Structure 1
């Protein structure tokens, strides 16, 4: 019994969305740490780690060929940023002008799509990492060494990413489809809650929850669509990709059916309060919700999907209950019974579709070629998209302007106040300043609390584990925790990246001396970000 249990546990671990990402980061960080210890040059750790972090933040979903092209573009952008920082660093005025222009242009590249926005954001991050490295170097004669190490660390992680995508091509598609069916199952469950046969039911609250969940389903549909198209390109679908494409079209059809019709829920509850027909509608929807979740789990674990016979029986019971109501020939129910018959037809169609999910290759479906137009098709198209965003009414334009002025303000502050490790102010500003007021406020609280938590933990761990080797292991683990939690638990991720910085700097100097500067710089950067969002083209509706 132990071997099957162990095999299932390993399969579940492998199927976790963040497992592959975390494993790549672990290999990259551990390899860099081993190299620095082998060469007896602990100073290599900081630029290599920072380059790996920037490259991992620039990673987007793609096929291995697309990832290779994206890596080449990323390394080119990183190299230009690192060289520009080294050339302009001694000259404050040209540096400030270059920083402003680069920030505005890179943020506006987000108009071309998520892939461009991610690479542009990572390029800004690496530019600030280059500033931190140049500030640490002081009068060191090795002017270009840290820049080359930053790019080398980025290339090291990028090659690992390309290799991973070449070996495990379909894993991101499985994760996207599993997430899609999980969100779809939640939508079914919330839809079932509308059929609660209770008088004076607060339908508006449940409709709001349903609308919010619908946004998540649509986002999951778009994400899965992009993931599939990255694997398809202009080639016809075949093999396993065709299998996943059919599952995507199945989810799309299910979503259209479950969200297409609106019924007089309160009128149904009042008319059929003494009947079980609404309970049977609700039960069938809940069973279909469970089937969607089980289908997502089967896709994620690469196991066969078994559709429960309880769904078919629930559909038959609902049909029998509806037939009993029709036999009563109540004239007041005529219009409501038509709604129930339409509902039954929709539920029956969805049941047949879910039953066919165990063999999606038999489903009809072709690629929707119109989906390929989401990315800019030419340089003229790209320029046109950016030009359309160059207006104060554009959320992206306002964010680009805020970010530019916020980073310039941070640069002026660090030259005026001259805080120790002052360039961390710019890094905090870059991470905290978000496109909207609400998002910035949330990120600000999470960043400050995570930094405080990480500094306290670092101070305690320095005393408990003075060994450099153990601290090096802590740095690697902290880096993995950061990437595993940065999109879901940002406070924990901030604490982890703070620990990584403390342990890395303690490899070459005094980690204790970084605690107070890190806290002060975080507070300054957060204050600048909050002021920028509050004062520069503020989003008044969001603020209310």
Structure 2
């Protein structure tokens, strides 16, 4: 029972965040200096936003950089403020100066909002203490935050990676169960595929997260992570075999009508799913797995395959399920991969500055968006005679996310949560409660807020707002005077962030759909060149397979976000949804071909070359249709009839022919969808340009 409680991801995260916040407050209260304890507890909010709690092989180096930037921002706000430099100019300059961190890496890019919030917090402290005290507070607070998190991660070894792996195994279980429970409904892919695509997308996202964590922890060189590295390799094998498709719905229907194959296949899938969920719990709660066998299920499936040798579905399912069962039984991967194949060197500072100064830099656009929003918010605050508009500026920072949809959801939750929290605080401030009881309630609300913050941000905001009001009450005994101004600040901040996300260099995913589709086709071509060429390294084939899955995942994510964005043609997005569906089928066939290539089920060199030429022609036709604004007939110059030998068709050939069929449909969809594309912005360009 205690394992399930202490190792549960939400509980573990909530305990860590609550303790790092509340221990300074408790120490300050015991020493009779509650005010400094409350101020000290503000620093972890900057560290959280800056990602300084992320386990990393350069953990302490990032802490030094983060603490230095916090202190620099705090000093700059006070120093320039003493020289009567207007606040909008200060915040604008800081955002543009610190924005270069986003060009070094995404993780470094999180230092920008953290440093800006440190400067904004300082506004509430300026004039109340010496100029050196707030920077010192940030330096000491970052040191405390880093030491506490280092001790916590040392105490709960490998826990972040265990949580991700556990989620990955659960997602694979749900994907396998859902895929084979819809066996007789695959004839209508428009209805059955979207939920499967969503599950596949979540699995690939978690695989990407595992890769990132391994790079950060240098897991390949750490003996403590060998067991988790092996579990990750097992998960890659499982995803490889689960995410394959024969895509012959008529053969599936025929086999189901002639036998009880549907029940047997579902029995196998449910057995695998149950085992995967059990392994997910074993990984998360530090338990050794029990023995596993599914011989009866496999024997029933093999019997159906023998009874219907002319139908490929039985053999296909039996072969892949047997490989999955072998991996689950031995808990060892089918072969060793180079999990660090995508090593990327960090961008040096001078190179990052050069890239940052380009108008195509995404980091520059992000920094400029923050700069303009903060400058406008501070100008608005000064026009209303608010000398220290820290709540308004913090609201802008807290609700601003990378995309339109995420920002809109965060704004809704933040506004409603703040309103609810202020109402609760207004009702409870009337009671005369001892200081110790107030601190206990604040501790309880903080723990409860962090328990639900990942799933219910609005509810967590209610608790955090009540805690913030009571903090002000304990610091200055006038928390009730802040209720209405804080509500107005929150609403204004949400409106400014929403306007900035729409009008200030928005990253519309609808405009990126074409580029992501083009990139996905290019990745498919590289994979087919390796599979049908002379590449024999299983590691290189496996890594290219993951790149194919990641490219399609980026395309699918763009489509999902584009369908929630305002002002775009629904008909065009519906056509692209069908295009992405056929792209998913190609990904599944490439997954299957990678397995066959590793098993040395190859074609003759001459036949492989002819198939490769046909696939390249079809892929280039699709790319041309996406790239050029012209009549469809002018883009078919590469079209040719490639005669193939007649006779028995191998499994590899079957997959290639299915890929060619899907590419033909995708070309037709692209030709029809082009007329209903959006007619504004980058869509007016005749040629596709590489996105920055």
The alignment's TM-score, normalised by the length of structure 2, stands at 0.69
- Does 1:527 pair with 2:495? yes
Instruction: Return the match for 2:193 from 203, 207, 227.
Output: 207
CA change 1:220–1:92 in 2 (3 A) is farther
Cα deviation for residue 64 of structure 1 reads 7.0
- Is 1:294 equivalent to 2:274 in the alignment? no
Deviations 1:7-28 (A, max 9, x none): xx21111211233333233333
Other-structure match for 1:331:
none
Q: Counterpart of 2:429 in 1: which secondary structure?
A: helix
Equivalent residue number for residue 129 of structure 1: 121
User: Match for residue 338 of structure 1?
Assistant: 312
Structure 2 unaligned residues grouped into runs of 5+? 511-564, 569-692
One of 102, 110, 124 as aligned partner of 1:110: 102
Contact persistence 1:176–1:223 (CA under 8 A):
yes
Q: Where do 1:126-525 residues align within 5 Å?
A: 126-134=118-126, 138=127, 140=128, 142-195=130-183, 197=184, 202-232=188-218, 236-238=221-223, 240-270=224-254, 272-309=256-293, 311-326=294-309, 334=310, 337-357=311-331, 360=332, 364-373=335-344, 376=346, 378-379=348-349, 382-383=352-353, 386=356, 390-391=359-360, 394=362, 397-419=364-386, 422-464=389-431, 466-508=433-475, 509-525=477-493
> How many angstroms does 1:320 deviate by?
0.9
Count, aligned residues: 511
Residues 92, 297 of structure 1: CA spacing in aligned structure 2 closer, same or farther, 3 A cutoff? Answer: farther
Q: Distance in 2 between matches of 1:490 and 1:279?
A: 42
Report the Cα offset of residue 61 of structure 1.
5.9
2:5 to 10, 13, 17: 13
Q: 2:392–2:489: 8 Å Cα contact kept in structure 1?
A: yes
Alignment of 1:71-86 (within 5 A): 71-86=63-78
**CA-CA distance at 1:469 after TM superposition:** 1.6
Q: CA deviation at 1:34?
A: 2.4
The alpha-carbon deviation at position 317 of structure 1 amounts to 0.8
Say whether the 8 Å CA contact 2:56–2:216 is kept in structure 1: no
Contact 1:62-1:231 at 8 Å conserved across structures? no
Q: For the aligned residues, what is the CA RMSD?
A: 2.7
Q: Partners of 1:363 and 1:61 in 2: how far apart?
A: 35
1:217 Cα deviation after fit: 0.9
Work out the CA distance in 2 between the residues paired with 1:365 and 1:479.
44
Q: Give per-residue Cα distances to partners, 1:179-201, cap 9 Å, x unaligned.
A: 21112212212222331x35x86
User: CA 1:459 to 1:193, structure 2 compared with 1: closer, same or farther past 3 Å?
Assistant: same
Q: Is the 8 A contact 1:50 1:126 kept in 2?
A: no
Whole-angstrom distance in 1 between the partners of 2:389 and 2:210: 41
For the Cα contact (< 8 Å) 2:268–2:298, is it kept in 1?
A: yes
Deviations 1:440-486 (A, max 9, x none): 21111111011011112222332346222211222233333444433
Larger helix percent:
1
Q: For 1:345-365, what per-residue CA distance to the aligned partner results, in whole angstroms no more than 9, with x for missing partners?
A: 1121111111112xx4x8642
Q: Is the 8 A contact 1:181 1:251 kept in 2?
A: yes
* Segment drifting more, 29-38 vs 513-522: 29-38
Flag the structure with more relative contact order, 1 or 2, with Cα contacts below 8 A and sequence separation at least 6.
Answer: 1
